[in-house]
């Protein structure tokens, strides 16, 4: 699967332009046939405001959080969107400037204040952003829009109204959590985040939020840390965007992209640094895999796995099989931080310049790693993996660590399989066959891809001058086949009469079933959920 589509017209630039929220839902024009059983809401998060007054936001993850909703009811489809009323958004709109530092955009003190008040504003340090543009997911009976800090925002999934801001630090020993939690069969939510303890000790805590409570109390108030992973460096935690979970284990990948805490805690407040300024790469550590048992929870300190350096943002799936844990990942080769290439100035360039810049970025690959649960210590130098269906290896070294080499499930020059999805409700933590992803062509999203992880066969949906988003899998009610369902994706088609649409694909063949087009340009969206 290699994309041959070029984008000389630069329609992808529309993905990174400010839009207005809607006063009311707008009806969509439907072509094709939407399955009668598909009657819910597709909820998505992404940036929608890319400048405030004369001040631009600089990075893809800086634009202010915009919540989107496609409603499917009784054969009709509507589209609606509203900005989340975070502190970051409200204060920016009030003061007509960037007030809280975002991922790659620094906020500076009010120029109207005198020099002394400006100095003390710097001295107090920076406010952590609550700009929840990355994802939305249910906790108990409520829905929360999230980013990667300690703040999450409760929203109404029907009206899209902002309800309240929640500081997870009040309930958990974490300084932030990922935007990619896992949901257990009983409705419990698991997530992972950094924790800075006494004397600047550092660890990664897996936290558990219980399911909806019979007494209607808030599950977040009953959340707890269940297990802790150590950090390989005392003052430099690795960037964590997601993690793996099977029925019995947690999988944490410690990558060489690091957060320099000294920069974070000192120079930031004085020099006007951003989150991006605090990242650096360790070019000698490679990548470490850590395991912990789930119930009872405990870190497996004797299981030490290493491999070569890569960036990691999204786990696809992990599962147990015959004494091994199989871990499938969307990786980017090397220690150079991929987010360095996601500044808006780069993404808005002309097509040839976009391609040229992407050539310097890490090469993406879908990889499978296999971790032995009971490695035989008397066999140094021998491949410990005995699974017949993979070429991935795990070799015991003389220092007691196990060196991992992956099986590459998909690779093509500057073609990424990212934003992965599976039939989560049935196959999370279990052996599976199919993954669905957004195809990035030199960082520009222009395809939806289905990957058979057993045969490496791929299927592609692609249409000229169309820019899709993460494909969300919704299973057919009562389905017995893994890929019996539909994929939902928000697609932007600049220049058409109705430039935004909801795409409904048959997940088995990746053929189009229907589209619901609206007279609205829709900016880039990142992640979301389907509410039945």
Binding-site residue ranges = 180, 241, 314, 527
Binding-site residue ranges for Fe cation = 180, 241, 314, 527
**Burial 123-139, CB ≥16 within 10 A → b, else e:** eeebebbbbbbbbbbbb
Give the torsion through C-alpha atoms of 101, 104, 105, 106, to 10 deg: 50
Q: Among 4, 39, 42, 122, which Cα is nearest to 490's?
A: 42
**Rounded CA gap, 77 and 39, in Å?**
9
- Helices vs. strands in the chain: H and E counts, helices first: 7, 37
Q: C-alpha distances in angstroms, 164 versus 130, 154, 158, 161?
A: 11, 5, 15, 10
Q: C-alpha distances in angstroms, 8 versus 18, 75, 117, 351, 490?
A: 22, 37, 49, 5, 22
Instruction: Give the pair of three-digit tokens for residue 235.
Output: 């003052």
Instruction: Give the pair of three-digit tokens for residue 388.
Output: 């017949």
With a CB cutoff of 8 Å and minimum separation 6, the contacts of 486 are 35, 38, 473, 474, 476, 504, 505, 506, 507, 513
Instruction: Give the pair of three-digit tokens for residue 133.
Output: 């543009």
DSSP code string of 71-131: EEETTEEEEEEEE---HHHHHHHHHTS--S--SS------TTS-HHHHHHHHHT-PPPP--
With a CB cutoff of 8 Å and minimum separation 6, the contacts of 265 are 125
Residue labelled with tokens 């599962």: 319
DSSP code string of 19-30: -PPPSS-EE-EE
């Amino acid at each position: 699967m290699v994309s041959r589509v070029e984008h000389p017209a630069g329609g992808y630039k529309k993905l990174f332009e400010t839009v207005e929220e809607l006063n009311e839902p707008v009806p969509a024009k439907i072509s094709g046939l939407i399955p009668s059983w598909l009657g819910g809401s597709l909820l998505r998060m992404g940036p929608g405001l890319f400048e405030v007054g004369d001040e631009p936001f600089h990075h893809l993850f800086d634009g202010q959080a915009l919540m989107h909703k496609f409603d499917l009811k009784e054969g009709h489809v509507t589209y609606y969107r509203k900005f989340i009323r975070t502190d970051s958004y409200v204060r920016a709109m009030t003061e007509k400037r960037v007030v809280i530092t975002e991922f790659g955009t620094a906020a500076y003190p009010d120029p109207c204040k005198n020099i002394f008040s400006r100095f003390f504003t710097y001295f107090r340090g920076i406010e952590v952003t609550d700009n929840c543009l990355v994802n939305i997911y249910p906790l108990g009976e409520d829905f929360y829009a999230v980013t990667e800090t300690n703040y999450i925002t409760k929203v109404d999934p029907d009206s899209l109204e902002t309800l309240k801001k929640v500081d997870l630090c009040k309930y958990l020993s974490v300084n932030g959590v990922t935007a990619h939690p896992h949901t257990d069969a009983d409705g419990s939510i698991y997530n992972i985040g950094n924790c800075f303890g006494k004397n600047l000790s550092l660890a990664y805590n897996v936290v558990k939020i219980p399911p909806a409570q019979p007494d209607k109390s808030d599950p977040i108030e009953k959340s707890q840390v269940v297990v802790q992973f150590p950090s390989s460096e005392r003052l430099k935690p690795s960037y964590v965007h997601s993690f793996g979970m099977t029925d019995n284990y947690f999988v944490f990948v410690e990558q060489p992209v690091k957060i320099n805490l000294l920069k974070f805690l000192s120079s930031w407040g004085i020099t006007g640094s951003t989150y991006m300024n605090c990242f650096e790469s360790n070019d000698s550590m490679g990548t470490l895999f850590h395991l912990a048992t789930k119930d009872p929870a405990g870190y497996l300190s004797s299981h030490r796995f290493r491999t070569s350096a890569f960036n990691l943002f999204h786990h696809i799936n992990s599962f147990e099989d015959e004494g091994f844990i199989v871990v499938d990942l969307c990786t980017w080769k090397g220690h150079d931080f991929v987010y360095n290439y996601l500044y808006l100035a780069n993404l808005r360039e002309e097509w040839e310049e976009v391609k040229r810049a992407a050539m310097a970025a890490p090469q993406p690959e879908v990889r499978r790693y296999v971790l032995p649960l009971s490695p035989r210590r008397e066999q140094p130098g021998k491949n410990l993996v005995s699974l017949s269906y993979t070429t991935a290896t795990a070799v015991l070294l003389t220092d007691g660590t196990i060196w991992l080499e992956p099986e590459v499930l998909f690779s093509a020059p500057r073609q990424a399989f990212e934003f992965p999805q599976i039939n989560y409700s049935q196959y999370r933590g279990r052996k599976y066959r199919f993954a669905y992803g957004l195809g990035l062509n030199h960082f520009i999203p222009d395809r939806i891809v289905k990957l058979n992880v057993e045969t490496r066969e791929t299927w592609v949906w692609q249409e000229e001058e169309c820019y899709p988003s993460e494909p969300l899998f919704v299973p057919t009610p009562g389905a017995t086949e893994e890929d019996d369902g539909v994929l939902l994706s928000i697609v932007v088609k600049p220049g058409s009469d109705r430039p935004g649409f909801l795409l409904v694909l048959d997940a088995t063949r990746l053929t189009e079933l229907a589209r619901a087009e609206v007279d609205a340009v829709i900016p880039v969206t990142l992640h979301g959920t389907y509410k039945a």
